Structure 1
Amino acid sequence: MDISIRRYAPEDREAVVALALRAWEPGYAALERTLGTRTYERVVGDWRQAHSRDVREDLAAEEADVWVAVTDRVAGFVTVRLDRGERSGLVHMLGVDPDQQGRGVGSALTGFAVERIREEGMTLAVIRTGGDEAHAPARAVYEKAGFVPSPVVHYYRSL
Protein backbone atom coordinates (compact mmCIF):
# COMPACT_ATOMS: atom_id res chain seq x y z
CA MET A 1 0.00 0.00 0.00
CA ASP A 2 1.33 3.43 -0.90
CA ILE A 3 1.42 5.89 1.99
CA SER A 4 2.31 9.52 1.52
CA ILE A 5 2.62 12.06 4.28
CA ARG A 6 1.91 15.71 3.77
CA ARG A 7 1.16 18.80 5.82
CA TYR A 8 -2.33 19.01 7.21
CA ALA A 9 -4.65 21.39 5.32
CA PRO A 10 -7.83 22.94 6.79
CA GLU A 11 -9.96 20.97 4.33
CA ASP A 12 -8.69 17.77 6.05
CA ARG A 13 -10.25 18.77 9.39
CA GLU A 14 -13.51 16.81 9.28
CA ALA A 15 -11.84 13.66 7.95
CA VAL A 16 -9.19 13.87 10.69
CA VAL A 17 -11.71 14.46 13.48
CA ALA A 18 -13.90 11.58 12.27
CA LEU A 19 -11.00 9.13 12.00
CA ALA A 20 -9.70 10.21 15.42
CA LEU A 21 -13.05 9.38 16.99
CA ARG A 22 -13.10 5.96 15.30
CA ALA A 23 -9.48 5.31 16.23
CA TRP A 24 -9.87 6.13 19.93
CA GLU A 25 -13.23 4.43 20.49
CA PRO A 26 -11.69 1.04 21.47
CA GLY A 27 -9.45 2.77 24.01
CA TYR A 28 -12.38 4.47 25.69
CA ALA A 29 -14.35 1.21 25.71
CA ALA A 30 -11.39 -0.49 27.40
CA LEU A 31 -11.17 2.32 29.93
CA GLU A 32 -14.85 1.91 30.77
CA ARG A 33 -14.35 -1.83 31.31
CA THR A 34 -11.38 -1.08 33.55
CA LEU A 35 -12.98 1.67 35.64
CA GLY A 36 -16.57 0.47 35.67
CA THR A 37 -19.38 2.57 34.23
CA ARG A 38 -19.97 4.78 37.29
CA THR A 39 -16.34 5.89 37.65
CA TYR A 40 -15.88 6.06 33.89
CA GLU A 41 -18.81 8.46 33.52
CA ARG A 42 -17.37 10.65 36.28
CA VAL A 43 -13.80 10.64 34.95
CA VAL A 44 -14.46 10.67 31.20
CA GLY A 45 -17.97 11.95 30.60
CA ASP A 46 -18.86 12.48 26.94
CA TRP A 47 -15.53 11.48 25.45
CA ARG A 48 -16.69 12.01 21.85
CA GLN A 49 -17.49 15.66 22.45
CA ALA A 50 -14.32 16.27 24.48
CA HIS A 51 -12.08 14.39 22.06
CA SER A 52 -13.55 16.11 19.03
CA ARG A 53 -12.85 19.46 20.71
CA ASP A 54 -9.30 18.43 21.66
CA VAL A 55 -8.45 17.23 18.14
CA ARG A 56 -9.86 20.41 16.59
CA GLU A 57 -7.82 22.52 19.02
CA ASP A 58 -4.64 20.60 18.21
CA LEU A 59 -5.24 20.97 14.48
CA ALA A 60 -5.60 24.75 14.89
CA ALA A 61 -2.86 25.29 17.50
CA GLU A 62 -0.02 27.55 16.37
CA GLU A 63 2.44 25.57 18.49
CA ALA A 64 1.53 22.24 16.88
CA ASP A 65 2.86 20.91 13.59
CA VAL A 66 0.33 18.62 11.93
CA TRP A 67 0.70 16.10 9.11
CA VAL A 68 -1.66 13.59 7.53
CA ALA A 69 -0.98 10.17 6.05
CA VAL A 70 -2.76 9.58 2.78
CA THR A 71 -3.48 6.27 1.08
CA ASP A 72 -6.55 6.45 -1.13
CA ARG A 73 -7.81 9.03 1.41
CA VAL A 74 -6.73 10.59 4.71
CA ALA A 75 -5.77 7.48 6.69
CA GLY A 76 -4.11 9.00 9.77
CA PHE A 77 -2.63 12.09 11.32
CA VAL A 78 0.04 13.19 13.76
CA THR A 79 0.57 16.38 15.74
CA VAL A 80 3.93 17.39 17.20
CA ARG A 81 4.74 20.01 19.81
CA LEU A 82 8.29 21.19 20.42
CA ASP A 83 9.81 22.43 23.66
CA ARG A 84 12.90 24.24 22.48
CA GLY A 85 14.06 24.98 26.03
CA GLU A 86 14.06 21.28 26.89
CA ARG A 87 15.13 20.33 23.35
CA SER A 88 12.32 17.79 23.20
CA GLY A 89 9.46 17.02 20.88
CA LEU A 90 6.16 15.53 21.95
CA VAL A 91 4.10 13.44 19.57
CA HIS A 92 0.93 14.92 21.03
CA MET A 93 -1.68 13.07 18.99
CA LEU A 94 -1.41 10.22 16.53
CA GLY A 95 -4.40 8.46 15.08
CA VAL A 96 -4.97 5.94 12.32
CA ASP A 97 -8.37 5.10 10.89
CA PRO A 98 -9.26 1.60 12.15
CA ASP A 99 -9.73 0.23 8.64
CA GLN A 100 -6.18 1.38 7.81
CA GLN A 101 -4.54 -0.04 10.95
CA GLY A 102 -2.03 -2.84 10.57
CA ARG A 103 -0.92 -1.54 7.18
CA GLY A 104 2.07 0.58 8.19
CA VAL A 105 0.31 3.94 8.52
CA GLY A 106 1.07 4.29 12.24
CA SER A 107 4.70 3.31 11.72
CA ALA A 108 5.04 5.77 8.84
CA LEU A 109 3.57 8.60 10.91
CA THR A 110 5.71 7.75 13.93
CA GLY A 111 8.92 7.66 11.90
CA PHE A 112 7.98 10.86 10.10
CA ALA A 113 7.28 12.68 13.38
CA VAL A 114 10.58 11.53 14.90
CA GLU A 115 12.48 12.79 11.87
CA ARG A 116 10.75 16.18 12.03
CA ILE A 117 11.62 16.41 15.74
CA ARG A 118 15.26 15.54 14.99
CA GLU A 119 15.43 18.03 12.10
CA GLU A 120 14.31 20.76 14.50
CA GLY A 121 17.38 20.08 16.64
CA MET A 122 15.59 18.29 19.47
CA THR A 123 17.46 15.57 21.34
CA LEU A 124 14.47 13.74 22.85
CA ALA A 125 11.19 12.50 21.38
CA VAL A 126 8.27 11.63 23.66
CA ILE A 127 5.02 9.84 22.89
CA ARG A 128 2.28 8.70 25.28
CA THR A 129 -0.41 6.04 25.01
CA GLY A 130 -2.60 3.85 27.18
CA GLY A 131 -1.50 0.71 28.95
CA ASP A 132 -4.66 -1.31 28.32
CA GLU A 133 -5.22 -4.02 25.73
CA ALA A 134 -6.81 -1.59 23.26
CA HIS A 135 -3.54 0.36 23.05
CA ALA A 136 -1.28 -2.70 22.61
CA PRO A 137 -0.94 -2.15 18.83
CA ALA A 138 0.13 1.48 19.41
CA ARG A 139 2.68 0.42 22.03
CA ALA A 140 4.08 -2.15 19.59
CA VAL A 141 4.51 0.53 16.89
CA TYR A 142 6.25 2.91 19.29
CA GLU A 143 8.55 0.26 20.72
CA LYS A 144 9.43 -0.89 17.19
CA ALA A 145 10.38 2.76 16.49
CA GLY A 146 12.82 2.69 19.42
CA PHE A 147 10.71 4.30 22.15
CA VAL A 148 11.19 2.92 25.66
CA PRO A 149 8.10 2.71 27.91
CA SER A 150 7.94 4.32 31.33
CA PRO A 151 4.62 3.18 32.85
CA VAL A 152 2.40 5.58 34.75
CA VAL A 153 -0.64 4.39 36.67
CA HIS A 154 -3.67 6.55 37.49
CA TYR A 155 -5.92 5.38 40.32
CA TYR A 156 -9.60 6.34 40.60
CA ARG A 157 -12.22 5.58 43.19
CA SER A 158 -15.89 6.53 43.01
CA LEU A 159 -17.23 7.92 46.25
Structure 2
Amino acid sequence: MKIRIEPYGDRQLETVVRLSLRAWTPVFDSLQQVIDADVYRSFYPDGWRVSQQKAVEEVCTAEDTNVWMAMSAEGDAIGIDTGLTVGFVAVKLHSESSMGEVYMVAVDPDFQGQGIGTALMEFALFWMKDAGMSVAMVETGGDPGHAPARHTYEKLGFGLLPIARYFKKL
Protein backbone atom coordinates (compact mmCIF):
# COMPACT_ATOMS: atom_id res chain seq x y z
CA MET A 1 0.00 0.00 0.00
CA LYS A 2 1.26 3.46 -0.84
CA ILE A 3 1.00 6.04 1.90
CA ARG A 4 1.93 9.63 2.49
CA ILE A 5 2.97 10.92 5.88
CA GLU A 6 1.70 14.33 6.90
CA PRO A 7 1.60 16.40 10.08
CA TYR A 8 -1.22 15.78 12.52
CA GLY A 9 -3.95 18.41 12.78
CA ASP A 10 -6.31 18.99 15.71
CA ARG A 11 -9.34 17.96 13.62
CA GLN A 12 -7.85 14.45 13.37
CA LEU A 13 -7.94 13.74 17.11
CA GLU A 14 -11.08 11.61 17.06
CA THR A 15 -9.75 9.61 14.11
CA VAL A 16 -6.42 8.96 15.86
CA VAL A 17 -8.15 7.91 19.09
CA ARG A 18 -10.46 5.47 17.26
CA LEU A 19 -7.58 4.04 15.24
CA SER A 20 -5.37 3.55 18.30
CA LEU A 21 -8.08 1.86 20.34
CA ARG A 22 -8.75 -0.57 17.49
CA ALA A 23 -5.04 -1.17 16.94
CA TRP A 24 -4.27 -1.76 20.60
CA THR A 25 -7.18 -4.08 21.42
CA PRO A 26 -5.07 -7.25 20.88
CA VAL A 27 -2.26 -5.70 22.93
CA PHE A 28 -4.47 -5.08 25.95
CA ASP A 29 -6.12 -8.49 25.54
CA SER A 30 -2.63 -9.98 25.73
CA LEU A 31 -1.63 -7.85 28.72
CA GLN A 32 -4.72 -8.96 30.58
CA GLN A 33 -3.59 -12.56 30.13
CA VAL A 34 -0.05 -12.02 31.44
CA ILE A 35 -0.63 -9.59 34.34
CA ASP A 36 -2.19 -10.48 37.67
CA ALA A 37 -5.92 -9.66 37.44
CA ASP A 38 -5.87 -7.36 40.49
CA VAL A 39 -2.87 -5.45 39.15
CA TYR A 40 -4.54 -5.12 35.74
CA ARG A 41 -7.71 -3.73 37.36
CA SER A 42 -5.58 -1.28 39.38
CA PHE A 43 -3.95 -0.02 36.21
CA TYR A 44 -7.25 0.24 34.33
CA PRO A 45 -10.07 0.66 36.90
CA ASP A 46 -12.40 2.14 34.25
CA GLY A 47 -11.15 -0.18 31.50
CA TRP A 48 -8.10 0.25 29.33
CA ARG A 49 -9.97 2.15 26.61
CA VAL A 50 -10.71 5.06 28.95
CA SER A 51 -7.08 5.48 30.02
CA GLN A 52 -5.71 4.95 26.52
CA GLN A 53 -8.10 7.47 25.01
CA LYS A 54 -6.92 10.02 27.57
CA ALA A 55 -3.27 9.12 26.90
CA VAL A 56 -3.66 9.52 23.13
CA GLU A 57 -5.52 12.82 23.55
CA GLU A 58 -2.76 14.12 25.85
CA VAL A 59 0.02 13.03 23.49
CA CYS A 60 -1.64 14.52 20.41
CA THR A 61 -2.22 17.88 22.11
CA ALA A 62 1.08 18.13 24.02
CA GLU A 63 3.34 20.97 22.93
CA ASP A 64 6.46 18.81 23.37
CA THR A 65 5.24 16.07 21.03
CA ASN A 66 5.34 15.89 17.25
CA VAL A 67 2.68 13.72 15.63
CA TRP A 68 2.34 12.55 12.03
CA MET A 69 -0.37 10.62 10.25
CA ALA A 70 0.00 7.88 7.64
CA MET A 71 -2.61 8.51 4.95
CA SER A 72 -3.54 6.17 2.11
CA ALA A 73 -2.19 7.49 -1.16
CA GLU A 74 -3.97 4.99 -3.41
CA GLY A 75 -7.50 5.44 -4.60
CA ASP A 76 -10.47 3.31 -5.56
CA ALA A 77 -8.40 0.92 -7.70
CA ILE A 78 -7.86 -1.17 -4.58
CA GLY A 79 -11.08 -0.22 -2.82
CA ILE A 80 -9.56 2.26 -0.37
CA ASP A 81 -10.36 5.94 -0.14
CA THR A 82 -7.41 8.22 -0.83
CA GLY A 83 -6.62 10.18 2.30
CA LEU A 84 -7.84 7.52 4.74
CA THR A 85 -5.89 7.64 8.02
CA VAL A 86 -4.15 4.28 8.40
CA GLY A 87 -1.64 5.01 11.17
CA PHE A 88 0.14 7.58 13.29
CA VAL A 89 3.38 8.13 15.15
CA ALA A 90 4.17 10.50 18.03
CA VAL A 91 7.74 11.59 18.80
CA LYS A 92 9.28 13.47 21.70
CA LEU A 93 12.77 14.95 21.65
CA HIS A 94 14.92 14.91 24.77
CA SER A 95 17.55 17.50 23.82
CA GLU A 96 19.48 17.20 27.11
CA SER A 97 20.31 13.56 26.29
CA SER A 98 20.21 13.97 22.49
CA MET A 99 17.59 11.23 22.35
CA GLY A 100 14.45 11.00 20.30
CA GLU A 101 11.63 8.87 21.68
CA VAL A 102 8.92 7.22 19.65
CA TYR A 103 6.22 7.75 22.24
CA MET A 104 3.29 6.13 20.41
CA VAL A 105 2.82 4.37 17.11
CA ALA A 106 -0.21 2.54 15.79
CA VAL A 107 -1.51 1.14 12.52
CA ASP A 108 -5.16 0.47 11.78
CA PRO A 109 -5.75 -3.30 12.13
CA ASP A 110 -7.19 -3.43 8.60
CA PHE A 111 -3.83 -2.26 7.23
CA GLN A 112 -1.30 -3.98 9.48
CA GLY A 113 1.36 -6.16 7.90
CA GLN A 114 1.74 -3.87 4.88
CA GLY A 115 4.84 -1.93 5.98
CA ILE A 116 2.98 1.11 7.32
CA GLY A 117 4.43 0.79 10.83
CA THR A 118 7.90 0.44 9.34
CA ALA A 119 7.35 3.51 7.15
CA LEU A 120 6.16 5.54 10.14
CA MET A 121 9.16 4.43 12.20
CA GLU A 122 11.62 5.20 9.39
CA PHE A 123 10.05 8.65 9.00
CA ALA A 124 10.34 9.26 12.75
CA LEU A 125 13.97 8.09 12.81
CA PHE A 126 14.91 10.36 9.91
CA TRP A 127 13.14 13.29 11.55
CA MET A 128 14.92 12.67 14.89
CA LYS A 129 18.32 12.50 13.22
CA ASP A 130 17.56 15.65 11.24
CA ALA A 131 16.61 17.36 14.54
CA GLY A 132 20.09 16.58 15.91
CA MET A 133 19.32 13.54 18.03
CA SER A 134 22.00 10.85 18.26
CA VAL A 135 19.94 8.04 19.84
CA ALA A 136 16.40 6.79 19.24
CA MET A 137 14.33 4.95 21.82
CA VAL A 138 11.00 3.14 21.76
CA GLU A 139 9.34 1.11 24.52
CA THR A 140 7.07 -1.86 24.08
CA GLY A 141 5.85 -4.89 25.98
CA GLY A 142 7.35 -8.35 26.10
CA ASP A 143 3.98 -10.10 25.93
CA PRO A 144 2.65 -11.86 22.80
CA GLY A 145 0.40 -8.92 21.89
CA HIS A 146 3.44 -6.71 21.39
CA ALA A 147 5.32 -9.22 19.21
CA PRO A 148 4.56 -7.40 15.91
CA ALA A 149 5.89 -4.15 17.38
CA ARG A 150 9.06 -5.85 18.63
CA HIS A 151 9.56 -7.40 15.19
CA THR A 152 9.33 -3.98 13.52
CA TYR A 153 11.74 -2.34 15.95
CA GLU A 154 14.29 -5.14 15.68
CA LYS A 155 14.01 -5.10 11.87
CA LEU A 156 14.92 -1.40 11.99
CA GLY A 157 18.02 -2.10 14.10
CA PHE A 158 16.80 -1.26 17.60
CA GLY A 159 18.61 -3.19 20.31
CA LEU A 160 16.87 -4.48 23.42
CA LEU A 161 17.83 -3.14 26.85
CA PRO A 162 16.81 -5.98 29.17
CA ILE A 163 14.77 -4.53 32.00
CA ALA A 164 12.63 -6.50 34.39
CA ARG A 165 9.65 -4.66 35.85
CA TYR A 166 7.68 -6.48 38.54
CA PHE A 167 4.23 -5.61 39.89
CA LYS A 168 2.32 -6.71 42.97
CA LYS A 169 -1.13 -5.59 44.09
CA LEU A 170 -1.03 -4.15 47.61
Q: TM class, shorter-chain normalised?
A: over 0.9
Partner of 2:77: none
Q: What is the rounded CA distance, in whole Å, between the counterparts of 1:38 and 1:154 in structure 2?
A: 16
Would you say 1:53 and 2:22 are equivalent positions?
no
Which secondary structure state, in structure 2, belongs to the residue aligned with residue 146 of structure 1?
A: coil
Distance 1:136 1:14 in 2: 27
Paired position in structure 2 for 1:63 = 64
Question: Does residue 155 of structure 2 align to residue 144 of structure 1?
Answer: yes
Q: Which runs of 4+ in 1 moved over 6 A?
A: none
| Structure 1 match to 2:113 | 102
- Name the % identity: 40
Mapped partners of 2:101, 2:61: distance in 1: 17
What is the number of residues matched between the two proteins? Answer: 159
- Say yes or no: does 1:17 pair with 2:51: no
Shift of 1:40: 1.3
How many angstroms apart in 2 are the aligned matches of 1:137 and 1:90?
19
Structure 1 residue 26, shift from structure 2 partner:
1.1
SS in structure 2 opposite 1:93?
A: strand
Residue by residue over 1:63-118, the C-alpha shift from the partner in whole angstroms, topping out at 9 and shown as x without a partner, is 10110001141011001100111111000011111111101110000000000000
Structure 2 equivalent of residue 75 of structure 1: 86
For residue 122 of structure 2, the aligned residue among 103, 111, 123 is 111
Runs (5+) with no aligned partner, structure 1: none
1:86 aligns with 2:97: yes
* Aligned partner of residue 155 in structure 1, secondary structure: coil
1:120 to partner: Cα distance: 0.3
TM-score scaled by structure 1?
0.95
Structure 2 residue runs without a partner (length 5+):
73-81
Tell me the distance in 2 between the aligned counterparts of 1:15 and 1:98: 14
